[in-house]
Amino acid sequence: MTIEDVKKEIRDIQDFPSKGIVFKDLTTVFKNAQYIQFLSDMLYNQYKDYGITKVIGIESRGFIMGAILSEKLNAGFIPVRKKGKLPAESYEMEYQLEYGSAIIEMHKDALDENDVVLIHDDLLATGGTLAASISLVKILGVKKIYCNTIVELTALHGRKLIESDVEFISLIKY
């Protein structure tokens, strides 16, 4: 199996969730155990020697591979969620969407200064969500931040929003 085989399984949904958007649907990848194993092995091999102590999954599609990866890396799992979903005291970060803005949150006691963090989401588009997640993690002052997505939409240049002290990789580029 190669990453190109996985790419072929990603389904394009036209005009979802709104007109003009081509939604990259990964449910067609995740429904196949072999693809889950292939992707999680690939990410595990990439990060196994980095001393990751916490994997952060971004709501909600980042929870799937984020949780699998945390188990493989013997790291804890931390959710970054949309405003109002987390039960305990949280930090919040507002960021711009194409139209309007959104707020994400993380528990104040989720991380400490000794943590080495891997932030995971399924897809990088404009980069706003990942950049806001990095800012949230930086409030807590961890040792080092890595981040990755399975898919990157390169035409949107989301990478530009990721600060140079944060190492970013994506597995599949469009």
Catalytic residues: 61, 98
Residue with Cβ nearer ligand AMP (6 or 53) = 6
Binding piece for ligand AMP, criterion CB under 6 A, among 15-23, 76-84, 108-116, 166-174: 15-23
- Cα distances (angstroms) measured from residue 105 to each of 35, 58, 108, 133: 30, 10, 9, 8
Binding piece for ligand AMP, criterion CB under 6 A, among 19-27, 73-81, 103-111, 166-174: 19-27
Distance CA 140, CA 174 (A): 33
Q: Are 15 and 21 in contact (CB under 8 A)?
A: yes
Distance CA 135, CA 107 (A): 14
93 contacts ligand AMP (rule: CB under 6 A) = no
Q: Is 86 helix (H, G, I), strand (E, B) or coil?
A: coil
66 contacts ligand AMP (rule: CB under 6 A) = no
Residues lying near ligand AMP in the complex (CB under 6 A) are found at 21-24, 58, 61, 121-130, 158
